[in-house]
Structure 1
Amino acid sequence: MWIDYHTHHARCGHAAGELEEYVLRGIELGLKQLGLSDHMPLIHVDPAKYYEGMAMPLEEFPRYVEECLELKEKYRDRIDIRVGVEADYIEGYEEDIAKLLEPYPWDYVIGSVHFLGEWDVTDFRQLHNWEGKDVDEVYAQYYDAVQKAARTGLYDYIGHIDVIKRFGQKPTKDVYDLEKQTLDAVKEAGLAIELNASGLRMPAAEMFPSRRMLEYCLAEGIPLTVGSDAHDPTKLAQYLDQAYALLKDLGFTELATFDRRRRIMVPIE
């Protein structure tokens, strides 16, 4: 089952390409399912403090969903489109996130932690925020946020679960116990995670999550889906051949897909 569940387009401000370009590229690549999953608008950062292209404007959100649904119908005989969103977990804003998501007919909602407060740890323009920080403490804060996200009931799966390693900052202590605690929280919440291949094009030079976290998922029966996290139609499905090969090598036989917030396991082909 050749799928890609993690994509972004021009509305979010820091990606290229229109939604239809992703759909046409997905057809060209032979994807069986394509997940459209752009970032939700930010609800906790003053727009006056935004970096350029930081987020989809709130007024664009309904139009994003509308266009996804239009494309799903238009191309239904050529590709199976699933309508999703990557919804940032922000501690203290759980009710606001729920209200923002509630009106729309999602197939799936990705729960991702990008922000620790107003610091986007995944934004290269904010790398200066690491200065003077205890890396071990930042890792602990990040994984605590992921665990809280898993427990909210807002999400279907957790995105790039160890993205805190994106720019190569490494803790001084082994954080494997912290990683396992986080995966345990995912399992207890009945969620899946994704194997996000985009880490291979970043300083981390490793997919999200690491092989040892994937091994733990296999042992604990935590389901996985896959995504390229493409921010350009030309990057759709990038490195997914390596992601599939890794999953098969580890012994995974199924992938999680989603339809109207219902998880459906399909064989890896």
Structure 2
Amino acid sequence: MLIDYHTHHVRCGHASGELEEYVKKGIELGLVQLGLSDHMPLLHVDPATYLPGMAMPMEELPNYVQEAFRLQQQYKGQIDIRVGLEGDYIEGYEREIESIIRAYPWDYVIGSVHFLGEWDISDYRQLDGWNGRDPYDVYVKYYEAVGKAVRTGLYDYIGHIDVIKRFGYKPEQSVVHLENEALDAVHSAGMAIELNASGLRMPVGEMFPSRRMLEYCCELGIPLTIGSDAHQPERLTQYLDQAVVLLKQVGFTELATFKQRQRTMVRF
């Protein structure tokens, strides 16, 4: 059961490739299901004055949705396309986020934390945001935001749940309790998370989440899906073979899939 639920395309401003290129690449790779999941438009910063290429412009959102569902029908029988959104969680903007989510018939919505205030902790151009900050305090704020995202009830699963480690900034203190509290919240909410393989090409050199967190997920019974977080068509399914091996080693036998906001588990 080869699936990839986390992809981005040219509309988001920091990826390349049209949606149809991803679809054709998915067919070539033998994907059974392909999730299209581009970034929600920015809500809390002015795109005109912020760093360029952070997310698709708001006026492009309906075009993205229309094209994605058109491709879903056009390639029906060749590949099962699921239409999704990576919906940033921004504290204080829950109502605006909900409005976007409720406006379209998504198959799934990924809840991801990229921003702490106006600082995008996942952007390599903003590494100076770590300057003068205690890494442990940053981790605390990050995982608090993850917990708040979970409790909104707006999302189907949490994306790259420990992406805060992306650039290798880690506190000297243990953060196991912060990670476990976030996963406990996911479990209490009946949600899933993803195993995002893109961390293998990042400075941290490790998938999101870590093996330790995956083992805790398995212990709790938290469902998982997988995604490459591809930003170029040629990176579709990148490292997912390693992701599947890791999941099997940890003890997972099923993957979460989503259609019309309903989760179905499939064996792999």
Corresponding residue number in structure 2 for 1:232: 232
Corresponding residue number in structure 2 for 1:163: 163
Corresponding residue number in structure 2 for 1:39: 39
Corresponding residue number in structure 2 for 1:85: 85
1:46-88 CA-partner distances (Å, limit 9, x unpaired)? 1232212111000000000000000000000100000000000
Corresponding residue number in structure 2 for 1:242: 242
Q: 1:147 is aligned with what amino acid? A: G
Partner of 1:171, secondary structure, is coil
Corresponding residue number in structure 1 for 2:144: 144
Corresponding residue number in structure 1 for 2:181: 181
Question: Which whole-Å CA distance do the structure 1 matches of 2:70 and 2:50 have between them?
Answer: 30
Corresponding residue number in structure 1 for 2:53: 53
Corresponding residue number in structure 2 for 1:6: 6
Question: Which whole-Å CA distance do the structure 2 matches of 1:99 and 1:52 have between them?
Answer: 24
**Residue 123, structure 1, aligned to residue 123, structure 2:** yes
Question: Which whole-Å CA distance do the structure 2 matches of 1:260 and 1:232 have between them?
Answer: 26
Normalising by structure 2, report the TM-score.
0.99
**Stretches of structure 2 lacking an aligned partner (at least 5 in a row):** none
Question: Which whole-Å CA distance do the structure 1 matches of 2:181 and 2:158 have between them?
Answer: 14
Question: Which whole-Å CA distance do the structure 2 matches of 1:17 and 1:97 have between them?
Answer: 26
Q: CA deviation at 1:244?
A: 0.3
Corresponding residue number in structure 2 for 1:96: 96
Q: 1:134 is aligned with what amino acid? A: D
Q: 1:20 is aligned with what amino acid? A: E
**Stretches of structure 1 lacking an aligned partner (at least 5 in a row):** none
Q: 1:73 is aligned with what amino acid? A: Q
CA RMSD of aligned residues (A): 0.5
Corresponding residue number in structure 2 for 1:218: 218
Question: Which whole-Å CA distance do the structure 2 matches of 1:248 and 1:55 have between them?
Answer: 34
Q: 1:204 is aligned with what amino acid? A: V
Question: Which whole-Å CA distance do the structure 2 matches of 1:177 and 1:128 have between them?
Answer: 27
Corresponding residue number in structure 1 for 2:192: 192
Partner of 1:17, secondary structure, is coil
Corresponding residue number in structure 1 for 2:209: 209
Partner of 2:40, secondary structure, is coil
Partner of 1:27, secondary structure, is helix
Q: Percent identity?
A: 70
Question: Which whole-Å CA distance do the structure 1 matches of 2:170 and 2:103 have between them?
Answer: 40
1:192-216 CA-partner distances (Å, limit 9, x unpaired)? 0000000000001000000000000
Question: Which whole-Å CA distance do the structure 1 matches of 2:267 and 2:47 have between them?
Answer: 44
**Count of residues in Structure 1 that have an aligned counterpart in Structure 2:** 268
Partner of 1:48, secondary structure, is coil
Normalising by structure 1, report the TM-score.
0.99
Q: 1:215 is aligned with what amino acid? A: E
Q: 1:221 is aligned with what amino acid? A: G
Partner of 2:44, secondary structure, is coil
Partner of 1:229, secondary structure, is coil
Question: Which whole-Å CA distance do the structure 1 matches of 2:151 and 2:49 have between them?
Answer: 29
Question: Which whole-Å CA distance do the structure 2 matches of 1:208 and 1:267 have between them?
Answer: 21
Question: Which whole-Å CA distance do the structure 2 matches of 1:214 and 1:186 have between them?
Answer: 13
Question: Which whole-Å CA distance do the structure 1 matches of 2:172 and 2:10 have between them?
Answer: 38
Corresponding residue number in structure 2 for 1:19: 19
Question: Which whole-Å CA distance do the structure 2 matches of 1:249 and 1:216 have between them?
Answer: 13
Partner of 1:49, secondary structure, is coil
Large movers: runs of 4+ above 6 Å: none
Question: Which whole-Å CA distance do the structure 2 matches of 1:3 and 1:105 have between them?
Answer: 21
Question: Which whole-Å CA distance do the structure 2 matches of 1:98 and 1:52 have between them?
Answer: 25
